[in-house]
Each structure stands twice: as structure tokens, then as C-alpha cells.
Amino acid sequence: MSDAATQTHPFQAEVAELLRLMVHSVYSETDVFLRELISNASDACDRLRYEAIARPELMGDGAPLAIRLTPDAKAGTLTIADNGIGMDRQELIDNLGTVARSGTRAFVSKLAESKDGSGLIGQFGVGFYSAFMVADRITVTSRRAGSNETPNETSNETSNATWVWTSSGGAGFDIAPADATAAARVTRGTEIVLHLKEDAKKYLEPHEIRRVVRAYSDHILFPIELVEEKDGAQTSEQVNSASALWHKPKSELKEEDYKQAYQTVAHAFDDPAMTLHYKAEGRYSYAVLLFAPSQRPFDLFDPARKGHVKLYVRRVYITDDADLVPSYLRFIRGVVDSEDLPLNISREMLQNNPQVAAIRKAITGRVISELENLAEKDAEKFDKIWDAFGAVLKEGIYEDFERREALLALARFETTAGKARSLKQYVADLKPNQTEIYYLVGDNADRLKSNPKLEAARARGIEVLLLSDPVDAFWTMMPPGFEGKPLKSLSQGDVNFDLVPLLDDKKEEPKADEAGAADDSTVIAAVKLALGERVSDVKASARLADSPACLVAAGQGPGLEIERLLSRQNRGTGARPILELNMKHALVKAVGHAQKIANEDDVKDLASLLFEQAQILDGEVPDDPAAFAARLNRLVVRGLSVSA
């Protein structure tokens, strides 16, 4: 490059702020500089391939399009070269100076207005400047495909063909014709030489380059070759797969191809339980390849609830933190490759991007639709997915109002009638005069099966959903319904099974006479007085048949299980339960007898025993286990003494 022919172009004052924005705001990791430069090289190859359709002569010698990475440890440089479309002098100034010339506000405006991703092909703007994170000087040598080179008779230079752009990222950049050596080296395309900073010399290590390429650019469709010097000779190795599986027609792919893609994308070893592969075209164009694992990932219940769908833009990896699916689909793995989004979009921009929102909505609908199809066509495979991820999918019932009904239809429940039961099956099997879907929430399905609150329902053959996942306490708060049938908790509010006939017609429930009703009221009042602030009320129960007592929540407010969950986190509302009594049970009748003979100690002991027994049956520990044990011992010894 001749100093006499060199022209200096100043950057506007805004460039310093723009570079600061690039380094500190848009990109959080330095690895992305290589992703951006490889992406630019890929775009240049894409553009040449497109223009060569009409002008085949642009391909020149017909050499395959490729990207070459050459580290030079002695010189401290990393070279990224391609044989794509290349740039002439004005394109170097325009493309490499676009952001610097237009300033920060124009840059932001360009991102906001850019709807056609193809319009960014070949442009070196924001992505190019990310290289200044690792380099203190950059040299770009480029020659546009199809340009004519004529020798300069008075100097060892070329004219109007190969040009060199250099900058240290400060006040501006220089541009000049390339000398004969550079022109001979770059016959078409672009060569970028990064003079690396001391703290970026790791990018001269071949293993580090391989790592970055495979993490960010493995699916670039052009070969990425790593050039190394070994024993005095240069060797070349392709370090990317150069195959974006999601862009291939489904007809060309086999089950094994999808399995390998899933295991690569998800870093998993199991087989995918469901595969969703399609291309969306219309207002926005993007390719989708998603998988549902067959096993629970280790981080499924991580508090961050982050998704694991990777976002690509024109085959260039952008992030796996784009929230392309809602949190309740965080078990889904895979790739979404957009043709429209800008490559240099930040995570903050992704959160507010309307294209991303539209893609998210469409993908969520397709995943749920695919799960519906699987449930209908292959119930066994769907049940495996539900067993692994049902607890996560149910979060959507609580969070996603728009899709709540669809998610309820997908849900499978363990019930008193069997396992993997759908609400559609439940409604189809409703008992005569049954108008509600009954459920019981707890922390263990086996314990729920023996819960006394099921007794009256079981006597009538009424099916009850047994909900034992922590999220069940939340989504049932809504309260939801299904096909016009409201869901009703057996541990909250009043229940009335009078219109549903008993399974044993001969076993009629006795009707209480007025005297009995008066005695019941006396017993209820005595128990309520004895328990004081431990309960909000004491009532006669319509849900018990054999057990003496149970605890329920009021009809309004949080249920018992949600109150327990919140209390464990010191966030409880302090709501007190209602104690329901089976007025026909001997233990309850014993309270009435103790009251008649004015034995206040027995009334207090029996009332506390009823309350604490109900706590234990709900899986709780009595507030004072020692007092409970002493009280129980007193009553047992007293009973044994009477018997003796």
C-alpha cells in the first residue's frame, strides 16, 4: 500500500460513543466478534452465489466458496478470508463506514426499520466493529467479483480493483490501492487481518478457534477452514459441519438424522420423544426444528425457568436466551432460524422485538398443536412426555390465559379411577346429576388416596383428580373449568353430593331429627370454644363418611395447600382452617357425652385430638407434637382403665 495514494477518512464524533455501545452494551462476550466476521463472510458468499445466477462469469475460476481462518502466532494476527462477492473502493467506504458515518441514532433507526434481512447481506456494519473488542488494528483487503484489474505502469500497484482499508478504531480509517503482493493474494473476496490485543491472544490457539466456530457458526452453509502451520507446511481442516439440517426438506431426512441433530443441539444422550420440523413463510420467514426430550433435563426446575431454543439468523447462531417459547415449554430443545431479524440484535432488543413476539406466539401454538396430535395418535408416547414434563406444562394453565383450555385438554391426571386420565374422559364418565369436576390437592398421590375428604365422593363413585405437583396449588386458584364444568376442590368451601345417588342403594344416610340437630349444634359449639383461634369455624361435614374430622379452607381465599406452600416461605396469609366433623362418628359423639357430664378436660382433649388428627391426615405435623402425644396417651390410658 502506497503512502502517497492513501486517503484518510475521519469518523464523526459519534463513533467513540458507538464503539463503546458495541463493546459494553450489545455484546457481552468477546467470542461474538468471530461469529460476526464469519457471518459477514458467509453473507458475501451468499451474495456472490445469488449474483452468479445471472452472471456466471463472476465465479471466475469456479473455486468452491469457502471461509478461511488463519492464525499467526508470531505476528499476533488472525486472518478471516472469503472468496465471496468482495468490495470495491466505494463499497469499502460505505459498508465499513455505515455506522460510523451515520452515528448512533441512525444505527438504531436502521435496526428498527430493517424488515428485509436480505438487504443486510454483504454489509459490514455493527458486526464488523465488534472486532475492535479484540483487535487494536484491523486491515481489510478486498476485491469485488467481476472487477477489472489494470497494471499501473509507474508503480508496483494495481488500480481500480483491489483496495486496502485500515483503522485503529480511533479518529478514522485509511483507504488505498493494494500493492501487487496483496492483489495477487486477494483475487476475489475479502481478507480481514486482526492485530490482536494482548488479552485476546487466546484466539490464536487452534483449539479455541474450533470451539468458537462449533459453538456459534457450525451451521454456516459454507466450509470454514482452519489453516495451521505444521512442520513448516500449511494444512487446512474444515471445522464446521456446513449443514443446517432445519433447512433441508423433511423428505430428505431420516429418523437417525433427527436423533443426531437433537443430541447435538441439546447436548443430550436420550432419543427425542417428539420432533417438530417446518418452515414458516409469509410476513416473517423462519425455519423451525424442535424436539421434546424423553428424559427430564437436570435443570428443568431451575428457578430461572430459562428456555433452551436457540435463535439463529440466516444460519448464524445468535443466542439461546431469546425466550422463543414460554417458560412452561422450557423443556423443548431445538433451533429457530430467522431470515428477517438483524444479525446484530442485542438481548435487550430481542425482548421488545415484534418479530420475535410473533415467532414466539406461532411456535407456541405449533408445539401445543403437535402435542395434541401426538396425544390423539400415539397415546403411549404422549404419556411419556406428560410423565416427564406434565408438571411444567401445567404452569401454562396458570400463566397462559389464551391457551388455558388447550392445556387443560392436554393435561393428564392420576385420579381415583386410574392414571393418565384426561378431563375429556372425566367429563364423559360423570355420574348422574354430577355438575362439577372434583379434585384434591396434596403433596403425595398415595396419601391423597386415603384422605378422608374422599369418603363421601367414593361412596357415590364420583371420580376425583388427585393433584400432587406443587404447581397444582397455583393453577387451581383461577378457578378453571372444562367444557362448561367448573373444577371444585374437596378441601375448600361447601360440597353437596345429595343429588348423586349412593353406589349402595340400600345404605341410606340417616336423617337427623330435631333433637339430634340440637345435640350437634351443642357439640360444634363446644369444639369451637375449645379450639379457639386455631380454627376459623367448626361445621358438620357433608364430605365425611367414616373418619371423624377433616380440615378445609373457606370458599373464598387461598386453599389449604397454597397456604401451606406460602407459609413455608414465610409468606402465608395467616388464614385459619375450618374443622368439619362427622357427627355420626363415635369420637365426635364422645365430645357430646363429655360435655353432658361437664368434663371440660375431656372436651378440650377430644377437640384437640380431632383437630390434630385432621392435620396428620393432610400430611401436616401437629403444632406441638409433644402435647399431641401426651394428650393421646391420656385418652388411651383412660379408655383402658374404663375397660378394665
Question: Rounded to whole angstroms, how far apart are CA atoms 504 and 492?
Answer: 27
Q: Look-up: residue for cell 452453509?
A: 221
Q: What 3 state SS string does 152-196 have?
A: CCCCCEEECCEEEEEECCCCEEEEEECEHHHHHHCCCEEEEEEEE
On whether both 143 and 263 belong to a single domain, the answer is no
Judge if 198 and 287 occupy the same domain. Answer: no
- Helix, strand, or coil here: 506? coil
Q: Which of 181, 213, 238 is the last residue of a domain?
A: 238
Considering its fold, how many domains does the chain have in total? 3
- Would the pLDDT of 643 be above 70? no
The residue from 382, 411, 443 where one domain ends is: 382
Residue 338 lies in a domain: yes
Burial class of residue 442, CB neighbours in 10 A (0-12, 13-18, 19+): buried
* Average pLDDT over every residue of 499-528: 74
In a domain? residue 420: no
Is it the case that residue 159 has pLDDT exceeding 70? no
Three cell numbers, residue 60: 471466475
Question: Is pLDDT above 70 for 94?
Answer: yes
pLDDT tier for residue 489 given thresholds of 50, 70 and 90: very high
Most confident of 10-14, 243-247, 263-267: 243-247
pLDDT of residue 126: 54
pLDDT reported for residue 16? 52
Q: Which amino acid is located at 153 in the chain?
A: E
Q: In this model, does residue 169 exceed pLDDT 70? A: yes
Q: Which of 43-47, 87-91, 397-401, 457-461 has the lowest mean pLDDT?
A: 43-47
Tell whether 260 is covered by a domain. Answer: yes
Question: In the predicted model, is pLDDT for residue 404 greater than 50?
Answer: yes
Phi and psi at residue 219, to the nearest 5°: -100, 10
**Residue 555: which domain range?**
514-560+568-643
Q: Which of the four pLDDT bands, split at 50, 70 and 90, describes residue 482?
A: very high
Say which residue, 256 or 409, is predicted with more confidence: 409
Angle subtended at Cα 482 by Cα 480 and Cα 488, rounded to the nearest 5 degrees? 55
Dihedral, CA atoms, 402, 406, 410, 416, nearest 10 degrees? 90
Q: Calculate mean pLDDT across residues 565-576.
A: 73
Average pLDDT over residues 320-343: 90
Give the residue with greater pLDDT, 5 vs 37: 37
Residue 546 located in a structural domain: yes
For position 511, what pLDDT does the model report? 55
Assess whether 525 and 619 both reside in one domain. yes
Q: Contact at 8 Å (CB) between 302 and 277? A: no
Q: What was the pLDDT predicted at 151? A: 42
Q: Average of pLDDT values for 164-175?
A: 86
Predicted pLDDT at 53: 75
Note whether 214 and 257 are same-domain residues.
no
Which CATH number does the domain housing residue 598 bear? 1.20.120.790
Residue 109 pLDDT class (50, 70, 90 cuts): very low
pLDDT more than 90, % of the chain: 50
Whether 309 has a pLDDT exceeding 80, the answer reads yes
Whole-number Å distance between alpha carbons of 87 and 485: 68
Residue in 565, 386, 412 with CA at minimum distance from that of residue 474? 565
**Shared-domain flag, residues 225 and 265:** no
pLDDT band at 13 (very low <50, low <70, confident <90, very high): low
Residue 565 and residue 619 in contact, taking contact as beta carbons nearer than 8 Å: no
Pair 359, 224 in one domain: no
On whether both 256 and 193 belong to a single domain, the answer is no
| pLDDT at position 450 over 70 | yes
> Does residue 163 lie in a domain region?
yes
Lowest-confidence range among 7-16, 43-52, 86-95, 437-446? 7-16
Reported as a pLDDT band with limits 50, 70 and 90, residue 231 is confident
Q: Say how far apart CA 478 and CA 254 lie, in whole Å.
A: 44
At residue 150 the predicted structure's pLDDT band, cuts being 50, 70 and 90, is very low
Considering the domain architecture, whether residues 209 and 257 belong to the same structural domain is answered as: no
Per-residue pLDDT at 28? 53
Residues 29 and 88 in one domain: yes
Give the least confident one: 250-259, 476-485, 567-576: 567-576
The whole-angstrom separation of Cα 117 and Cα 345 is 12
Q: 418-421 and 481-482 as β-strands: parallel, antiparallel, unpaired? A: unpaired
Q: Are residues 273 and 198 in the same domain?
A: no
**Residue 535 · residue 611 · CB < 8 Å:** yes
- Structure-model confidence comparison of residues 409 and 42, the more confident one: 409
| Domain co-membership, 217 together with 365 | no
State residue 572's pLDDT score.
Answer: 65
Contacts of 276 (CB under 8 A, 6+ apart): 288, 289, 290, 291, 334, 366, 367, 370
The per-residue pLDDT of the chain, averaged, comes to 84
Q: pLDDT for 506-519, tens place per residue?
A: 655 555 555 555 58
Domain match, 621 and 518 both = yes
Output the domain CATH number for residue 27: 3.30.565.10
Q: Is the pLDDT of residue 644 over 60?
A: no
Record the pTM: 0.67
* CA pair distance 338, 116, nearest whole angstrom: 11
pLDDT at site 22: 53
Boundary residue ending a domain (336, 366, 382): 382
**Is the pLDDT score of 445 beyond 50?**
yes
pLDDT at 560 (0 to 100): 79
Structure-model confidence comparison of residues 637 and 192, the more confident one: 192
Q: Is residue 251 part of a domain?
A: yes
CATH code of the domain in which 351 resides: 3.30.230.80
The length of the chain, given as a count of residues: 644
Residues above pLDDT 70, as percent of the chain: 85
In this predicted structure, the answer to whether residue 131 has a pLDDT above a threshold of 50 is: yes
57 CB contacts (<8 Å, ≥6 apart)?
146
Is residue 43 very low, low, confident or very high in pLDDT (cuts 50, 70, 90)?
confident
Q: What is the mean pLDDT of residues 65-78?
A: 96
Q: Does 357 map to a domain?
A: yes
Residue 426: inside a domain, yes or no?
no
